[in-house]
């Protein structure tokens, strides 16, 4: 898939989420299907985030020690999903932010999220199922109110697709 190499260094990205209070996360196969994923990446499902942090999969590692010595070697063990801490302008009437806040308070809601990255012509979709935690509102007087939350992807429940 050559498109991510083309657009990810200088991409423009947006974050979308399933819009219902009781979502049914997409299947792993559907997470890699551009028609299914792009249907979620519509303005009504957009989360008003300030920036998209690094996303995708990282290598999980294991550290070990030998006979009690302090060893800091790390051995790649598997692919691990990257949690994303998101900052957004807090708007108490934004329906998507209210849904995400409810998910964080529950702690048990699995929802499909889509990151749409584009170079202006072509689009790459990274879709994943995840849970939200740590929803905080910073209502600083004299400044714009912000909210922060962390999305934790579920292991091996992600997919990449693109428009070319």
Which CATH number characterizes residue 27's domain?
A: 2.30.110
- Can you tell me the mean pLDDT for 78-102? 83
Digit-coded pLDDT (tens) for 119-149: 777 788 888 999 998 899 987 777 788 999 9
Q: Assess whether pLDDT exceeds 90 at residue 117.
A: no
| pLDDT number for residue 50 | 80
**For residues 47 and 19, is the Cβ–Cβ distance under 8 A?**
no
Phi and psi for 156 in degrees, rounded to 5? 60, 20
* pLDDT attached to residue 82: 73
User: Total structural domains in the chain?
Assistant: 1
Q: How far apart are CA 161 and CA 94, in angstroms?
A: 28
In a domain, 67, yes or no: no
Which residue range forms the structural domain that includes residue 29?
12-55+83-162
Tokens of 8: 């990810």
Tens of pLDDT, residue by residue over 32-84, are 898 999 999 999 999 888 877 666 555 444 554 555 555 555 554 445 557 88
Its pTM stands at 0.79
Structure confidence at residue 45 (pLDDT): 93
């Amino acid at each position: 898939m050559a498109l991510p190499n083309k657009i990810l260094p200088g991409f423009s990205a947006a974050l979308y989420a399933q819009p219902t209070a009781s979502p049914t996360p997409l299947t792993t196969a559907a997470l890699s299907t551009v028609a299914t994923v792009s249907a979620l990446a519509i303005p009504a499902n957009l989360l008003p985030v300030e920036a998209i942090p690094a996303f995708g999969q990282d290598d999980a590692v294991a550290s070990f020690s030998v006979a009690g010595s302090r060893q800091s070697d790390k051995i790649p063990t598997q692919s691990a999903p990257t949690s994303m801490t998101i900052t957004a302008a807090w708007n108490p009437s934004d329906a998507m932010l209210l849904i995400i806040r409810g998910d964080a308070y529950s702690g048990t809601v699995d929802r499909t999220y889509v990151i749409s990255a584009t170079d202006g012509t072509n689009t790459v979709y990274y879709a994943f199922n995840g849970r939200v935690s740590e929803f905080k509102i910073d209502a600083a007087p004299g400044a714009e109110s912000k909210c922060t939350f962390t999305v934790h992807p579920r292991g091996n429940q992600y997919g990449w697709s693109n428009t070319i």
